[in-house]
Amino acid sequence: MRKFLLLIRRFWTLILFITLEVISIYFIAKSRSTQGIDVINSANATVAYFYQKEQNIVSYFNLKRVNTELLNENTALRNQLFYRQSVDTFKTVSAKIPVFDYSKIDRNQDSNILAQPVTMTIAENPPLKVVRYAEYEFIPARVINNSISNDRINFITINQGSEAGIKPGMSVVSSVGIVGRVEHVSKHFATIASVLSNRKVSARLKLHEAYGQITWVPGHPDFVQMDDIAITLPIKLRDSVLTTGFASFPANIPVGTVSRIDTVKSNNTLSLQIRLATNFRTLAFVYVVVDGMEAEKEKLEKKNQSAR
């Protein structure tokens, strides 16, 4: 207590000055003068500044939670979108056979005259038949390791495994394009062989419906190659390339855009350099694609292979 009193005594003048300043500012602010309004505005601006800094700090520490919420929301929207896209609709048309009334034929006339049809109707507003050929579900995952190399298969590790329903062979996409296929799976983790590998992916040019396969030529993680394209097609730079849906990837997933067009004189075709839509350097989140009808399709296709 004695030290506290000595401290007050030592800084008494400064304490008195600060106290009088605070009282003066208070009374000025309470008045309706120009100076009072200026004080209030300055105080509000100062308080708002510190509130903004506080909000920035709180937002920074909440980024992980916000990213997780956005990822889950995007997953739900993606599931709804592909649920609507993975169906075909057909109209079943039914017709009635013409009915001939032979009783009205005049026997006195030429017997070669054919009876006229009484009715011939086609069903109006035929029923719409919906056929589902795929049943996609997307499992969100965070990238926890990503190796980008120029001379070997590039692997990506994610924080989801068999416990989340992930199996080897499943395709993986990002929010903007394709990523690769699941290679190995443990209980809580999985590794993905990205398209920056020796695996081929079926793709097509969006505007020209030209089909081919993309492959990675070691040298740059931003580009893949698409060969054997008909030279007669009017392909232009920045034309979009999408997945076909023939393999494990869903149809119409962006692959990238055409960045270079080369002519192969040996077979008179085009070779396209495709800039990937997915930036593997900054890849943070991915979606593992689960096709609920894949097992049925594979079982049927294996029967064809065994019959050869």
Give a yes or no: residue 189 inside a domain. Answer: yes
Q: What is the pLDDT of residue 224?
A: 92
pLDDT higher at 131 or 253: 253
pLDDT higher at 33 or 262: 262
Q: What is the pLDDT of residue 62?
A: 63
Summarised one tens digit per residue, pLDDT across range 154-188 is 889 998 999 999 999 899 998 889 999 999 999 99
Q: What is the pLDDT of residue 134?
A: 66
Give a yes or no: residue 161 inside a domain. Answer: yes
**Domain of residue 163, residue span:** 136-292
- pTM above the 0.85 mark? no
Q: What is the pLDDT of residue 99?
A: 53
Average pLDDT estimate for 209-236: 88
Is 182 within 8 Å of 166 (Cβ atoms)?
Answer: yes
Is 187 within 8 Å of 163 (Cβ atoms)?
Answer: yes
How many whole angstroms from its chain centre is CA 50? 38
Give a yes or no: residue 7 inside a domain. Answer: no
Give a yes or no: residue 104 inside a domain. Answer: no
What CATH number does the domain containing 240 carry? 2.40.10.340
Average pLDDT estimate for 236-241: 92
Is 276 within 8 Å of 223 (Cβ atoms)?
Answer: yes
Give a yes or no: residue 108 inside a domain. Answer: no
pLDDT band at 252 (very low <50, low <70, confident <90, very high): confident
Average pLDDT estimate for 208-236: 88
SS3 label, residue 35? helix
| Number of independent structural domains in the chain | 1
Which has the minimum average pLDDT: 40-54, 130-144, 149-163? 40-54
Q: What is the pLDDT of residue 297?
A: 77
Give a yes or no: residue 204 inside a domain. Answer: yes
Q: What is the pLDDT of residue 16?
A: 75
Residue 267 has pLDDT above 60, yes or no: yes
